[in-house]
A and B are shown apart, each in its own frame.
Chain A
């Protein structure tokens, strides 16, 4: 844990320090790479601008709605396929076909079908998150040790107890991994849809700044989105490490 924190800090210091130095020493044209300090000032101003916050909130809302719809759907389909293997035989190849296709090529189709508003962003986010979460949920069901289930039955567990006392805790680590990856994919989907065609949202702003050579604003947007997504990812990873702590040593041994 301590080593990991040291790793993060070293990375941050090298990256951000290198950026500030490069800009200060004018190694790169200042219009292409403004100093970090300047970008931070702009970012600070953005965070006090209600219109910016509204855009950020909209994107966050799209991601949240997409994720909250995709997650239960994907977990239950994965569970169903894991429990009913004849269904899995039929549908797993389909899932893997779909996983293999870069979903971004369907974006124009989504726009034709659903417009460029909230609905389209949410749907595109859902399709991005759904399959990753599904695959992990399927693996989670298959990973449940069958002898544990047999033992629970011998000790008188009812079907409901087997699901809540054995399935749920045994599946949790892989489910959480799926949710974390699903969240990353969901954010990618929503931002992509915003950058491609949208009137509002942080993705749209970043795209517009890029087109308009507004480099400091562009970098401020990139820094903010990076920090937020890293924070979400790390928070979910901590949850994963917590529930997976019983398995870490077992798999290392």
Chain B
């Protein structure tokens, strides 16, 4: 059974009297353990799709299922999420932020402390457990957010342009480390970005989305061997895939 199964998903927004079609007939599926990235231009409805998968907003038509269950509300035990903005609570330490989802479920302090300290170690921030978000760099904050997304041990992690606000070096480094974390935890990752390079470097499968109304116009399997090194970005094969996706998006009817 696919972890994510989306069929003929549509979403309209009403803007004053007009109705704006954000998503039209989006269909795809993501298998367990895959790293799948959705790329598309700004405003193509990528984030809307993710909000539907997260159970934050309802679709207008079609349906989306997570592990076979139809989404109608957030599913904290099935889905962890990392947002573009780290959305850490400013008044809690890094460790307490990672613990937050478990704290909400009323899991006892010693149990959650142990688990979350291990997660901070996984993202390389053990030494910063007692730091508050404003004392951390942008990249570090996003690492804390990744650890928090893993806290409830969901099988699926949704990532909404998590590295978009970081500088290029940090961004590349974070991508590399994310692949490492993904390999160690065996999670299914559904990642959203507008960076083609990031999408190809990270993914098993890249879903290409057209401008509004958003539609999945192609599904591209990326079969560079893993573990991947950053160097593949400069290779000819990488460039060919990049160009292909670029043309797909550029030539899609806007």
Spell out A's residues near B (CB within 8 Å): 145, 147-148, 150-158, 161, 165-166, 169, 243, 246-247, 249-250, 253
A154 and B135 CA atoms in complex are apart in Å by: 25
Q: Does B87 contact A (CB under 8 A)?
A: yes
A155 and B88 CA atoms in complex are apart in Å by: 12
A250 and B79 CA atoms in complex are apart in Å by: 30
- The 9 A-B pairs of least Cβ separation, nearest first, read A156-B76, A155-B101, A151-B87, A246-B90, A250-B134, A249-B134, A154-B81, A147-B87, A154-B74
Q: Contact between A253 and B81 (Cβ–Cβ < 8 Å)?
A: no
Interface string of B68-107 (1 = CB under 8 A from A): 0000001011010101010101110000000011001100
Q: Does B36 contact A (CB under 8 A)?
A: no
Question: Are A154 and B134 also in contact (CB < 8 A) when A145-B87, A169-B91, A250-B90 are?
Answer: no
List residues of chain B with CB within 8 A of the CB of A249.
Answer: 134-135
Q: Contact between A148 and B81 (Cβ–Cβ < 8 Å)?
A: no
Q: Does B221 contact A (CB under 8 A)?
A: no
Q: Contact between A150 and B152 (Cβ–Cβ < 8 Å)?
A: no
Q: Contact between A153 and B74 (Cβ–Cβ < 8 Å)?
A: yes
Query: In the complex, how many angstroms separate the beta carbon of A158 from the nearest chain B beta carbon?
Result: 8
List residues of chain A with CB within 8 A of the CB of B105.
Answer: 156
Spell out B's residues near A (CB within 8 Å): 54-56, 74, 76-77, 79, 81, 83, 85, 87, 89-91, 100-101, 104-105, 132-135, 148, 152
List residues of chain A with CB within 8 A of the CB of B55.
Answer: 153-154
* Among candidates B85, B90, B152, residue contacting A247 with C-beta atoms closer than 8 Å: B90
Q: Contact between A253 and B134 (Cβ–Cβ < 8 Å)?
A: yes
Query: In the complex, how many angstroms separate the beta carbon of B160 from the nearest chain A beta carbon?
Result: 10
A216 and B105 CA atoms in complex are apart in Å by: 64
* Among candidates A151, A155, A157, A243, residue contacting B152 with C-beta atoms closer than 8 Å: A155
Query: In the complex, how many angstroms separate the beta carbon of B84 from the nearest chain A beta carbon?
Result: 8
List residues of chain A with CB within 8 A of the CB of B91.
Answer: 169, 243, 246
List residues of chain A with CB within 8 A of the CB of B133.
Answer: 246
* Among candidates A145, A148, A154, residue contacting B54 with C-beta atoms closer than 8 Å: A154
Query: In the complex, how many angstroms separate the beta carbon of B105 from the nearest chain A beta carbon?
Result: 7
Question: Are A147 and B76 also in contact (CB < 8 A) when A154-B55, A156-B104, A247-B90 are?
Answer: no
A246 and B89 CA atoms in complex are apart in Å by: 10
A148 and B85 CA atoms in complex are apart in Å by: 9
Query: In the complex, how many angstroms separate the beta carbon of B50 from the nearest chain A beta carbon?
Result: 10
List residues of chain A with CB within 8 A of the CB of B81.
Answer: 151, 154-155
A-B contact list, 12 entries, CB within 8 Å: A148-B87, A148-B89, A150-B83, A150-B87, A154-B54, A154-B56, A155-B76, A165-B104, A246-B133, A249-B135, A250-B90, A250-B134
List residues of chain B with CB within 8 A of the CB of A166.
Answer: 89
A103 and B160 CA atoms in complex are apart in Å by: 51
A155: nearest chain-B partner, CB-CB = B101
List residues of chain A with CB within 8 A of the CB of B152.
Answer: 155-156
A38 and B208 CA atoms in complex are apart in Å by: 85
List residues of chain A with CB within 8 A of the CB of B74.
Answer: 153-156
B132: nearest chain-A partner, CB-CB = A246
A150 and B50 CA atoms in complex are apart in Å by: 12
Q: Contact between B104 and A161 (Cβ–Cβ < 8 Å)?
A: yes
A247: nearest chain-B partner, CB-CB = B90
Query: In the complex, how many angstroms separate the beta carbon of A12 from the nearest chain B beta carbon?
Result: 34
A41 and B234 CA atoms in complex are apart in Å by: 85
A23 and B155 CA atoms in complex are apart in Å by: 80
Q: Contact between B100 and A155 (Cβ–Cβ < 8 Å)?
A: yes
Most chain B beta-carbon contacts within 10 A, residue among A150, A161, A165: A150
* Among candidates B76, B85, B132, residue contacting A154 with C-beta atoms closer than 8 Å: B76
Question: Are A246 and B134 also in contact (CB < 8 A) when A155-B100, A155-B101, A157-B104 are?
Answer: yes
A sample of 17 more A-B contacts (CB under 8 A), given A151-B87, A153-B56, A155-B76, is A147-B83, A148-B87, A150-B87, A151-B81, A152-B100, A153-B55, A153-B74, A154-B74, A154-B81, A155-B74, A155-B81, A156-B77, A156-B105, A246-B91, A246-B133, A250-B134, A253-B134
List residues of chain B with CB within 8 A of the CB of A157.
Answer: 104
Q: Contact between B83 and A152 (Cβ–Cβ < 8 Å)?
A: no
Query: In the complex, how many angstroms separate the beta carbon of A240 from the nearest chain B beta carbon?
Result: 14
List residues of chain B with CB within 8 A of the CB of A148.
Answer: 87, 89
List residues of chain B with CB within 8 A of the CB of A147.
Answer: 83, 85, 87
